[in-house]
Amino acid sequence: MNVLVWLAAILFILMILIGGKKGARSFFSLFLNFVVLLLTILFMTDPNADPIILTLIACAVISFINLFYINEMNSKTITAFISTIITIVILLFFIDMVTRNAMIQGFGEEEIEELSIFSLYIGVDFVKIGASVIIMSTIGAITDVAISITSPMREIFNHNPLISRKDLFTSGLSIGKDILGTNTNTLFFAFFGGYLGLLIWFKHLSYSVGEIVNSKVFSAEMISIFCAGIGIALIIPIASWINAYFLVKTRENNKIFK
């Protein structure tokens, strides 16, 4: 417990020193997001609740906190929020379909041994829970990419207010191309960092490469990475187009009112 308190204190001090007021808001947003996740999990245990709808609401609240609470309400956060919600809705249908066909819901063979003493008949839809888990694991990366595109696009627009919508959209795509590779690699290494112990365990169990690839734990995580990567690839053109449309439309409206 002391280690957790010390680490939290060090993180808080560093975020204040480096980020100032915004750093403090970023630190408190971690706790707010944790509360949202905790409440979502509690509501999901209700057999009458739909985990997909709860996930969609939770993603909207998390995006709201990450964008508007940390970066305040302005044109770049509004367009980033709209882009995030559109991408999540598109991705939700895709992930639900993939989860149903890949049969990755529930627990893997390696995990079920420890859980065998408990009853798994808790009245929840594990297919929808599986889709919700993947969506939850992608929301952070999608929000990050959305604001990473809309923020520099607004700077480009401010320095070149006569830029056309097409050129602004192309600039957003160029920014997206630069961050696409780094973000997908971040997801990939986050998986291997978190599951390094499991991979070593696979080796001690003398699993073949085929058994590892076909194991539910491994395939579920890889599907999560691929879905998150698809989400990142999707939000780049969506955020670029919405932001370009919003900025140019605002300029045109201002000309009319003048």
pLDDT of residue 241: 92
DSSP codes of every residue in 187-239: HHHHHHHHTHHHHHHHHHTT--HHHHHHSHHHHHHHHHHHHHHHHHHHHHHHH
- With a pLDDT cut of 90, the percent of the chain lying above it is 6
**In the chain, where are the structural domains located?**
32-113+122-257
pLDDT of residue 53: 86
Fold classification of 32-113+122-257 (topology level): Multidrug efflux transporter AcrB transmembrane fold (1.20.1640)
* Distance in angstroms (rounded) separating the CA atoms of residues 27 and 9: 10
Three-class DSSP category at 149: helix
pTM: 0.80
pLDDT of residue 96: 77
pLDDT of residue 49: 81
Candidates 188, 139, 173; CA nearest to 40 is 139
Which DSSP letter does residue 46 get? Answer: S
**Helical segments of 103-164, H only:** 109-115, 126-159
Q: Residues 213-238: pLDDT tens digits?
A: 777 777 777 887 888 888 888 899 99
Query: Which residues of the chain fall short of a pLDDT of 50?
Result: none
